[in-house]
Amino acid sequence: MSAVEKNWQTTRATIRERSKFMFDNDLFSDVKFVVPKAVGETESKEVISVHKLVLSFSSPVFEAMFYGELAETGDSIELPDCEYESPLEFFRYMYSDEVILSGSNVMGVLYLAKKYMVPSLTDKCTEYLQNNLHPSNVLSILPSAEKYEEKNLVDQCWEVIDIKTEEVVKSDGFSTIERSLLEAVVMRDTLTIEEIELFKAVDLWATKKCEKQGLTADGVTKRRILGEVIEGIRFPTMKPEDFANVVLDSEILRKKEIISVVKSQNSATKIPVGFPETKRSGSVKRVQRCCRFDSLSNFGCRYDENRRDAICFSVDKDIELRGVCFIGSENNTYRVDLEILDTSNKTRLVSYSGFFTSKLLQCEKYIYHGFEVLFDKKIILAENTTYWLCAKISGPESLCGGGGLSSVKCGDVMFRFFESSYTFGGSVNGCALK
């Protein structure tokens, strides 16, 4: 600096204030870091003036660099592996315990905090990233989080990917991820996405890779680029029309694979088809089961196929209804005809029939024998809207629910239950929701 404020020490009452004044200041500086700075399409170099003693107070790496047996003797150090904004904030933290993080500099600051062993700054960076995770940036953050072994951040990244899968795979960054990360995503059972939408994203990823490499994006080339990634796509779970109209047109699958998937979809064969044959479970952390009974009664409940049981209910915020759970009895099979109506406009949201075998289920209050009726399509329930759920069930005698509640808090959602024009017995235990 060309001029120094006279008696600057007397106007700054604390060590922290005086230390902040020394940041990027030529006064007493005994070493300079030279870093690249991009301006448009051109790149220049900027100099950041620092003090060896201050840096050594915060970093054992700098202590060894400046005062160790092989100490640096020059007064200038090149730092070519990060842009100017990141080291500037990194050094600001050394002088003041303050850092101005942004989307453009946080990864660079995290890199420097790890490189020079400043764990308190690492924590600030990971906290910033956790608070700003979004489907649009999670795929760019995850590789660095794994590289730096930041487990909590890694777990949170995967949670975003599981819960917001469709937004993640449709983000601009998806087409640029490494194949190893693509494979890790595709192999996850906990993704929340229709399989055909995941395949479309994978197909687009392969197309973009072909374009980048100057290759023709035909089926054979895309298959070669994808390699084992394609083995994680659950083709047998797709709707036949989606498989025919989208997957076949991509020409990624081989003839034998196509035949085996078609046979599997039509139940013509039970031999392995080479692809996972069960639907993805979805994000377990966001799926909760709302139990409206305090207890189970040993008194038998008789399911009569000529009787319909029903109940009305509402929720206090928008949710996705994943299905309904029923109480049953051990190792027995039941037929269920289920309807859900929006009473405000008489719209039928669900009309579902099928046979279900009871198994052990668990809610937060007890374990019971029952069966789940899970829906194939997304059912969105609006807040403060009354819905009518009606079930006609036939099958063996069952246990009954006891102590039915008129309102139940499930996670951060309040369920309220109302009487219906039909008598609703002890059959419906609750609902699994996301």
Read off the pLDDT of residues 24-38 as tens digits, 9 standing for 90 and up: 888 888 899 999 998
Question: What residues have CB less than 8 Å from 279, skipping those under 6 apart?
Answer: 195, 234, 237
* Amino acid identity for residue 317 in this structure: K
pTM (global) more than 0.75: no
Read off the pLDDT of residues 37-81 as tens digits, 9 standing for 90 and up: 987 778 889 999 999 999 999 999 999 999 998 877 788 999 988
> What's the half-sphere exposure (Cβ side, CA atoms, 13 Å) at 21?
17
Nearest-CA neighbor of 238 among 274, 204, 265?
Answer: 265
**Residue 143 in contact with residue 149, Cβ under 8 Å?**
no
Three-state DSSP class for 43? strand
Report the phi/psi class of residue 40: left, alpha or beta, with left for phi > 0 and alpha for psi in -120 to 50: left
311/2: higher pLDDT: 311
**Residue 186 in contact with residue 232, Cβ under 8 Å?**
yes
Tell whether the model's pLDDT for residue 319 goes beyond 50: yes
* Amino acid identity for residue 247 in this structure: V
Delineate the domains of the chain, giving CATH numbers in brackets: 8-132 (3.30.710.10), 143-265 (1.25.40.420), 287-433 (2.60.120.820)
158/25: higher pLDDT: 158
Dihedral sign, Cα of residue 55, residue 58, residue 62, residue 67: positive
Nearest-CA neighbor of 237 among 170, 282, 204, 286?
Answer: 282
Backbone phi and psi for residue 355, each to the nearest 5 degrees, phi listed first: -105, 140
- What's the Cα-to-Cα distance from 168 to each of 133, 141, 175, 398, rounded to whole Å? 11, 12, 11, 43
Nearest-CA neighbor of 170 among 214, 147, 218, 204?
Answer: 204
User: Residue 373 has which token pair?
Assistant: 């009726």
Nearest-CA neighbor of 46 among 4, 88, 8?
Answer: 88
User: Residue 310 has which token pair?
Assistant: 């029903």
Please give the Cα distance from 76 to 271 (Å, whole number): 68
Read off the pLDDT of residues 338-356 as tens digits, 9 standing for 90 and up: 999 998 888 888 888 888 8
Please give the Cα distance from 153 to 148 (Å, whole number): 10
Select, from the ranges 360-364, 366-370, 395-399, the one with the highest average predicted confidence (pLDDT): 395-399
